């Protein structure tokens, strides 16, 4: 399928984001593409059709995101429920979702615009806060749901169930519930394992647990994880994808399940996931051992 209608989302706080977006906008228009710009960047560069993020998603063939992983996570929430592929152009530093580097942006897009690309469908989670249907709110995330202590000096107690069966009460600085995509985000810095992003599992990872026997647990994607905040004298902060936060009080309930929605990422034509992983984690200098010819 040839790509003709394209939306551009950019992190205008990134250095040279305006310059790169304008260059990309002109390049796409020269190739006969209909280009829609997110309102913020449209106002910055003074070109294109100004539209809010949701307005540009309904009938475009592709979304190009200029920024880092945070910008892609924000875009994934806007696209929740839509099967529009996202290609990430990396304007940041360490990150795993924006696979196309600036120096290969135009050559990669030449290939992608012809429809010659691989779609990488990533599992998402629904975080449901509240017990009753009248009170509950639902947030869909690509990376993770994090419960953190509200006060720096106290740990939180998190009574945790899996499909209605009691697992444990974590006493910790917090708890991360992550997708495979999120395994290389906050969970990795908290000692969690790296999970191949096309897997369909949910990971629970305590942050600085009081008990050294508490470790990350990987569960089937179909389970429902229920967490009740049991700390009496303080609340907690619930954060979705590191971008949306809600305060919780003692007795509040969080349920996390696999979402019916997915995020569709465009894989780089030049790099596979393992190559990107090696590069981001500093394994790039290691080379495989080769047997000598006899």
Q: Catalytic residue positions?
A: 69
Would you give the end-to-end CA distance of the chain in angstroms? 49
Q: Give 141's Cβ-side CA count (13 Å radius).
A: 30
Between strands 217-220 and 119-129, the pairing is: unpaired
The answer to whether the beta carbons of residues 144 and 80 sit under 8 Å apart is: no
The answer to whether the beta carbons of residues 79 and 63 sit under 8 Å apart is: yes
- The radius of gyration of the chain's CA atoms, rounded to the nearest angstrom, is 21
The answer to whether the beta carbons of residues 143 and 73 sit under 8 Å apart is: yes
Residue that is written with structure tokens 């902060």 in the block: 237
Angular region, 230: left φ>0, alpha ψ -120 to 50, beta rest? alpha
Q: 183: helix, coil or strand? A: helix
CA distances (Å), origin 9, targets 20, 34, 67 = 12, 14, 8
Torsional sign, CA 13, 34, 105, 141:
positive
Class of residue 220 by CB neighbours under 10 A (exposed 0-12, middle 13-18, buried 19+): exposed
């Amino acid at each position: 399928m040839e790509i003709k209608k394209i939306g551009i989302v950019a992190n205008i706080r990134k250095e040279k984001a305006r310059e790169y977006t304008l260059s990309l906008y002109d390049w796409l228009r020269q190739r006969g593409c209909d280009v829609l710009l997110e309102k913020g960047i449209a106002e910055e560069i003074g070109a294109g059709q100004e539209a809010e993020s949701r307005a540009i998603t309904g009938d475009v063939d592709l979304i190009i995101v200029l920024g880092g992983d945070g910008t892609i996570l924000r875009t994934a929430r806007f696209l929740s429920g839509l099967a529009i592929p996202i290609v990430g152009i990396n304007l940041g530093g360490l990150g795993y979702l924006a696979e196309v580097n600036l120096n290969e942006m135009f050559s990669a897009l030449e290939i992608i615009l012809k429809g010659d690309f691989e779609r990488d469908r990533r599992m998402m989670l629904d975080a449901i806060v509240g017990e009753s249907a009248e009170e509950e709110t639902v947030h869909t995330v690509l990376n993770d749901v994090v419960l953190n202590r509200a006060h720096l000096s106290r740990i939180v107690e998190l009574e945790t169930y899996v499909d209605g069966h009691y697992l444990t009460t974590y006493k910790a600085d917090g708890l991360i519930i992550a997708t495979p995509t999120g395994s290389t985000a906050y969970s990795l810095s908290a000692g969690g394992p790296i999970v191949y992003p096309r897997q369909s599992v949910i990971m629970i990872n305590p942050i600085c647990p009081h008990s050294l026997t508490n470790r990350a647990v990987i569960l089937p994607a179909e389970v429902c994880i229920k967490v009740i905040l049991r700390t009496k004298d303080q609340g907690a902060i619930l954060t979705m994808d590191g971008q949306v936060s809600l305060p919780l009080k003692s007795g509040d309930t969080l349920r996390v399940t696999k979402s019916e929605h997915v995020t569709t990422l465009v894989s780089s034509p030049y790099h596979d996931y393992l190559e990107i992983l090696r590069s981001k984690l500093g394994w790039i200098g290691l080379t495989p051992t080769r047997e000598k010819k006899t």
